[in-house]
């Protein structure tokens, strides 16, 4: 049987993590996939000066961010001059309305989609369905996940949580494909099913990997060709993207592309790099007659206000941070309950959804540093996780929605008292003597801490006292020895 | 106020306040060495080798031939692969020569690709065995072809048929993507659609197992003319 449909939310992170850890199938699927991806990435950079390349990637992204408002305006002007219509959306709601509106203007009944995480972030499919428009995912992984009524569990490999048998069952149950373990047969079946849909689709919706301000070009990275189909076959193409995806020059694209494919899947290049600069021109034989670009803010301009959190916007969505994350590998992508899982999800989702809902995500890390080490644009992810933890207990600068949600007066008081004690030696000594005397009264249950550990107990005598006794002892003995000689 | 004004307004405010906070420094951009992405300086031989090694590593086929008799190689491939219906343009040099060599000579139907797709979409999607295109050139570092589809060789010709046959000249292989962009002045002349193609269409979405031809061609054959 394919997995039962389950809804995941960031609020239930702990329960979901607990469930996932107890699911050997999920753990095996992720372990195997992540081990393979880590290996491949390492090999893919073998011939490269990786540090120099990452520095270049970081500098390209930071240069773009430093000029972000100007570049967005330049991108808009270039696109419009090329015939691409540009729309701006403050949030998901507005972005969905824009896309639905374009569909309705064109009398669209069916939409075919290329892989787009921003459209996942917008919950576009549900919105289109409400308007009576059928949206079909065409990336094979997304297609399978959609058939199974799930959401992607990885930003690059959406169906990574499923194994061959599960996929065979899904295809059998939903499309009537004869059960098989032959991947080529399943792929061919999906090809045939989707080809019909490409031809029938009224609108193609895609994401964007890089938007080039200099030329007004939208770049899409892919292996399957569904992105090219989506952006070429239907008469209307709508590209949706976050406002941070813009780069300044065309020459900024090669370093980011080199980093992206190798970091994501360890490929030295993807099958297709698709650069779209205008709709079908007069006399051209194919391609959409209308191309729209929807620039989605959805919290990004707020992130932009903060000097430190701004680094979140460098991200090129390669997924390397999740591939290398020991927590992600063990709990899988759905556990996070958010569009973007793993370390990038933990630093991005609090801005999109607020810390009330996502307060546990920044704590879903051992701060081992692997994510920061592999990030192709050198985002200091661990620092940002720590910063968001501070924000959630109200110790940050408070720019994040829901900041302070985890603040507990008890905890604050406890740390304050401790701080006072630790800076007043006499009081400290007194307190440790008392603690030693009353050690029998120490609680044996301390919330989650004691779920898998024994509770700490104050020692009979503090280390301080013990050392003092020892020194005294020594001095005494030395005095005696000196007296004897 | 429109969404556009509000978004740009917030971004500008963010940037200005940042400038004030740190005395006009703004976001610090690290010094980077752009040569890491270009400056390969490979010999012609090395370029060819790299191109072939990388393209074949992703399941592309490279077939060498003399420039003068490349159409013979084409005929051989068509026969070998059992191609009965070949879609191609007719004005571009490659298409013209191929037509000359093939017309009436073999049992192969030549399908005109230089038509508005609306008039033959169904045929293109289900009745063409292979598409023939020329290429702008190639990239040695990644084994990629670069294509600027034209009126004569439209975008879908290299995507929809199950086999894509691409004609490439050995001299047109350059070291890196960066080099191609610079030497052909892409920034000043971007066409409707520019493409890098590196191998046949593929997916690893079913448990990391590679499968070819998921949406685009199952085979990519490069006829490399010397
Ligand atoms: S944060 Fe870095 S490693 Fe993670 S997806 Fe973004 S670019 Fe990749």
CB A106 within 8 A of CB A116: no
Task: Please check whether residues B48 and B27 belong to one and the same domain.
Answer: no
Please say if the pLDDT value at position A436 is more than 50: yes
Please say if the pLDDT value at position A152 is more than 60: yes
Q: Do A301 and B11 touch (CB under 8 A)?
A: yes
Residues of chain B with pLDDT under 70: none
pLDDT of residue A1: 40
Asked if B17 has any chain A CB less than 8 Å from its own CB, the reply is yes
CB A82 within 8 A of CB A280: no
Residue with the larger pLDDT of the pair A386 and A472: A386
Task: Please check whether residues B7 and B53 belong to one and the same domain.
Answer: no
Please say if the pLDDT value at position A3 is more than 70: no
Local confidence band at A451 (pLDDT 50, 70, 90 cut-offs): confident
Q: Do A250 and B203 touch (CB under 8 A)?
A: no
Local confidence band at A206 (pLDDT 50, 70, 90 cut-offs): very high
CA A52 to ligand 1 centroid distance, Å: 17
CB A462 within 8 A of CB A432: yes
CA distance A75 to A86: 9
pLDDT of residue A457: 85
Residue with the larger pLDDT of the pair A319 and A460: A319
Identify the CATH number of the domain in which residue B78 sits.
Answer: 3.40.50.10420
pLDDT of residue B22: 79
Atom of ligand 1 nearest to the CA of A343: 4
Q: Is B9 within the bounds of a domain?
A: yes
Local confidence band at A2 (pLDDT 50, 70, 90 cut-offs): very low
CA distance A35 to A27: 12
Task: Please check whether residues B9 and B78 belong to one and the same domain.
Answer: no
Task: Please check whether residues B203 and B149 belong to one and the same domain.
Answer: yes
Q: Is A402 within the bounds of a domain?
A: no
All residues of chain A having their beta carbon less than 8 Å from the beta carbon of residue B181 are: 250-251, 253-254
**End residue of a domain, out of A303, A337, A366:** A303
Task: Please check whether residues B80 and B101 belong to one and the same domain.
Answer: yes
Q: Do A301 and B205 touch (CB under 8 A)?
A: no
pLDDT of residue A7: 87
Q: Is A317 within the bounds of a domain?
A: no
Atom of ligand 1 nearest to the CA of A374: 3
Q: Is B221 within the bounds of a domain?
A: yes
Task: Please check whether residues B155 and B206 belong to one and the same domain.
Answer: yes
Question: What are A38-97's pLDDT values in tens digits?
Answer: 999 999 999 899 999 999 999 999 999 999 999 999 999 999 999 999 999 999 999 999
Task: Please check whether residues B52 and B12 belong to one and the same domain.
Answer: no
Q: Is A28 within the bounds of a domain?
A: yes
Smallest Cα distance from B225 to chain A, Å: 22
* Least confident stretch, A120-124, A349-353, A410-414, A480-484: A480-484
**End residue of a domain, out of A303, A338, A362:** A303
pLDDT of residue A5: 60
**Number of domains chain B is built from:** 2
In which domain, by residue range, is B88 found?
Answer: 43-225
Task: Please check whether residues A152 and A294 belong to one and the same domain.
Answer: yes
Q: What is the mean pLDDT of chain B?
A: 95
Q: Is B178 within the bounds of a domain?
A: yes
* Substitution target from A160, A224, A285 for chain B, most B beta carbons within 10 A: A285
Q: Do A255 and B21 touch (CB under 8 A)?
A: no
Please say if the pLDDT value at position A217 is more than 60: yes
CA distance B141 to A255: 13
Task: Please check whether residues B1 and B52 belong to one and the same domain.
Answer: no
Please say if the pLDDT value at position A471 is more than 80: yes
Q: Do B4 and A66 touch (CB under 8 A)?
A: no
Task: Please check whether residues B11 and B65 belong to one and the same domain.
Answer: no
Task: Please check whether residues A289 and A144 belong to one and the same domain.
Answer: yes
Q: Do B213 and A249 touch (CB under 8 A)?
A: no
Local confidence band at A411 (pLDDT 50, 70, 90 cut-offs): confident
Provide the whole-model pTM.
0.93
- Angle value at C-alpha B166, between B165 and B169, nearest 5 degrees: 145
The 3-class SS string of A364-424 reads CCCCCCHHHHHCCCCCCHHHHHHHHHHHHCCCCCCCCCCCCCCCCHHHHHHHHHHHHHHCC
Task: Please check whether residues B60 and B158 belong to one and the same domain.
Answer: yes
Q: Is A382 within the bounds of a domain?
A: no
Local confidence band at A484 (pLDDT 50, 70, 90 cut-offs): low
Q: Is A333 within the bounds of a domain?
A: no
DSSP code, position B184: T
CA distance A202 to A39: 41
Surface of B (54-83) touching A: CB under 8 A? 54, 57-58
Among residues A296, A295, A275, the alpha carbon closest in space to that of A287 is found at A275
CB A141 within 8 A of CB A158: yes
B130-153: b (≥16 Cβ within 10 Å) or e: bbbbbbbbbbbbbbbbbbbbbebb
Q: Is B37 within the bounds of a domain?
A: no
Task: Please check whether residues A284 and A415 belong to one and the same domain.
Answer: no
Task: Please check whether residues A299 and A417 belong to one and the same domain.
Answer: no
Q: Is A337 within the bounds of a domain?
A: no
Among residues A157, A177, A156, A154, the alpha carbon closest in space to that of A167 is found at A177
End-to-end Cα spacing for chain A: 88
Task: Please check whether residues B66 and B23 belong to one and the same domain.
Answer: no
Nearby residues of A360 by Cβ (< 8 Å), 6 or more positions away: A10, A11, A13, A14
Out of A72, A283, A287, closest to residue B193 by CB: A287
In the beta sheet, which residues pair with residue B166? B133, B222
Question: What are A256-283's pLDDT values in tens digits?
Answer: 999 999 999 999 999 999 999 999 999 9
Smallest Cα distance from A27 to chain B, Å: 14
In which domain, by residue range, is A166 found?
Answer: 10-303
Among residues A125, A130, A118, the alpha carbon closest in space to that of A143 is found at A125
In the beta sheet, which residues pair with residue B219? B163
**Number of domains chain A is built from:** 2
Q: Is A385 within the bounds of a domain?
A: no
* Least confident stretch, A248-257, A314-323, B106-115: B106-115
Q: Return the structure tokens found at B210.
A: 């590679």
All residues of chain B having their beta carbon less than 8 Å from the beta carbon of residue A88 are: 2-4, 7
Q: Do A286 and B116 touch (CB under 8 A)?
A: yes
Q: Return the structure tokens found at B100.
A: 């000359």
Provide residues with CB under 6 Å of ligand 1: A 263, 315-321, 343-344, 374-377, 379, 381
Nearest CA in chain A to B197: A272
All residues of chain B having their beta carbon less than 8 Å from the beta carbon of residue A96 are: none
Beta strand pairing call for A210-212 and A134-137: unpaired
Q: Is B38 within the bounds of a domain?
A: no
Surface of B (187-206) touching A: CB under 8 A? 187, 190-206
Task: Please check whether residues B67 and B120 belong to one and the same domain.
Answer: yes
Nearest CA in chain A to B182: A251
Q: Is A308 within the bounds of a domain?
A: no
* Substitution target from A148, A254, A261 for chain B, most B beta carbons within 10 A: A254
Q: Do B193 and A183 touch (CB under 8 A)?
A: no
Q: Is B47 within the bounds of a domain?
A: yes
pLDDT of residue B164: 98
**End residue of a domain, out of A281, A303, A325:** A303
Q: Is B53 within the bounds of a domain?
A: yes
Smallest Cα distance from A333 to chain B, Å: 15
pLDDT of residue A266: 96
Identify the CATH number of the domain in which residue A269 sits.
Answer: 3.40.50.10420
């Amino acid at each position: 049987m394919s997995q039962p449909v389950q809804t995941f939310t960031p609020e239930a992170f702990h329960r979901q993590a607990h469930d996932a850890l107890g699911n050997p199938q999920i753990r095996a699927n992720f372990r195997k996939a992540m081990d393979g991806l880590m290996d491949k990435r390492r090999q893919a950079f073998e011939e490269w000066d990786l540090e120099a390349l990452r520095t270049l990637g970081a500098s390209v992204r930071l240069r773009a961010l430093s000029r972000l408002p100007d570049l967005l305006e330049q991108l808009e002007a270039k696109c419009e001059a090329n015939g691409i219509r540009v729309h701006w959306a403050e949030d998901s709601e507005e972005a969905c309305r824009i896309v639905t509106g374009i569909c309705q203007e064109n009398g669209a009944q069916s939409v075919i989609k290329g892989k787009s995480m921003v459209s996942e972030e917008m919950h576009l499919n549900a919105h289109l369905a409400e308007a009576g428009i059928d949206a079909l995912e065409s990336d094979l992984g997304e297609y399978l996940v959609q058939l199974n009524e799930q959401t992607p569990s990885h930003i690059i490999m959406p169906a990574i949580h499923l194994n061959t048998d599960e996929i065979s069952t899904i295809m059998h149950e939903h499309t009537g494909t004869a059960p098989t373990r032959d991947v080529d047969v399943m792929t061919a079946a999906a090809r045939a099913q989707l080809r019909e849909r490409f031809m029938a689709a009224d609108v193609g919706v895609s994401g964007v990997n890089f938007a080039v301000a200099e030329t007004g070009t939208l770049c899409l990275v892919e292996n399957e060709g569904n992105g090219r189909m989506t952006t070429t076959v239907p008469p209307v193409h709508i590209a949706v993207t976050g406002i941070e995806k813009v780069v300044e020059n065309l020459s900024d694209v090669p370093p980011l592309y080199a980093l992206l494919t190798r970091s994501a899947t360890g490929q030295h290049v993807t099958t297709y790099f698709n650069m779209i600069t205008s709709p079908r021109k007069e006399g051209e034989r194919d391609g959409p007659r209308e191309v729209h670009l929807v620039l989605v803010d959805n919290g990004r301009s707020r992130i932009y206000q903060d000097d430190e959190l701004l680094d979140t916007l460098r991200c090129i969505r390669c997924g390397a941070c999740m591939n290398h994350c020991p927590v992600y590998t063990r709990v899988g992508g759905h556990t996070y309950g958010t569009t973007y899982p793993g370390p990038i999800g933990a630093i991005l989702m609090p801005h999109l959804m607020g810390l009330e809902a996502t307060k546990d995500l920044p704590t879903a890390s051992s701060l081992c540093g692997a994510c920061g080490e592999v990030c192709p644009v050198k985002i200091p992810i661990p620092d940002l996780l720590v910063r968001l933890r501070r924000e959630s207990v109200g110790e940050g600068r408070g720019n994040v929605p829901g900041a302070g949600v985890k603040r507990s007066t008890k905890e604050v008081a406890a740390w304050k008292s401790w701080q006072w004690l630790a800076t007043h030696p006499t009081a400290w000594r007194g307190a440790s003597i008392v603690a030693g005397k009353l050690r029998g009264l120490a609680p044996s249950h301390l919330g989650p801490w004691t779920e898998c550990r024994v509770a700490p107990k104050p020692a009979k005598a503090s280390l301080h006292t013990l050392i003092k006794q020892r020194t005294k002892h020594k001095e005494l003995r030395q005095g005696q020895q000196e007296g004897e000689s | 106020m429109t969404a556009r004004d509000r978004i740009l307004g917030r971004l500008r405010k963010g940037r200005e306040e940042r400038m004030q906070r740190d005395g006009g420094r703004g976001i610090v951009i690290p010094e980077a060495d752009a040569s890491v992405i270009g400056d390969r300086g490979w010999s012609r031989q090395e370029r060819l080798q790299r191109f072939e090694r990388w393209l074949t590593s992703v399941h592309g086929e490279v077939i060498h031939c003399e420039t003068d008799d490349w159409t013979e190689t084409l005929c051989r491939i068509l026969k070998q692969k059992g191609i009965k219906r070949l879609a191609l343009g007719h004005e571009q040099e490659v298409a013209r020569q191929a037509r000359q060599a093939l017309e009436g000579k073999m049992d192969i139907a030549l399908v005109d690709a230089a038509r508005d797709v609306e008039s033959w979409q169904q045929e293109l999607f289900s009745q063409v065995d292979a598409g023939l295109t020329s290429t702008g050139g190639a990239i040695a570092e990644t084994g990629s072809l670069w294509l600027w589809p034209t009126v004569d060789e439209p975008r879908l010709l290299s995507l929809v048929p199950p086999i894509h046959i691409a004609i490439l000249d050995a001299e047109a292989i350059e070291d890196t993507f960066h080099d191609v962009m610079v030497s052909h002045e892409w920034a000043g002349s971007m066409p409707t659609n520019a493409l890098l193609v590196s191998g046949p269409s593929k997916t690893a979405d079913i448990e990391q197992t590679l499968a070819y031809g998921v949406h685009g061609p199952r085979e990519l054959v490069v006829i490399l003319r010397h």
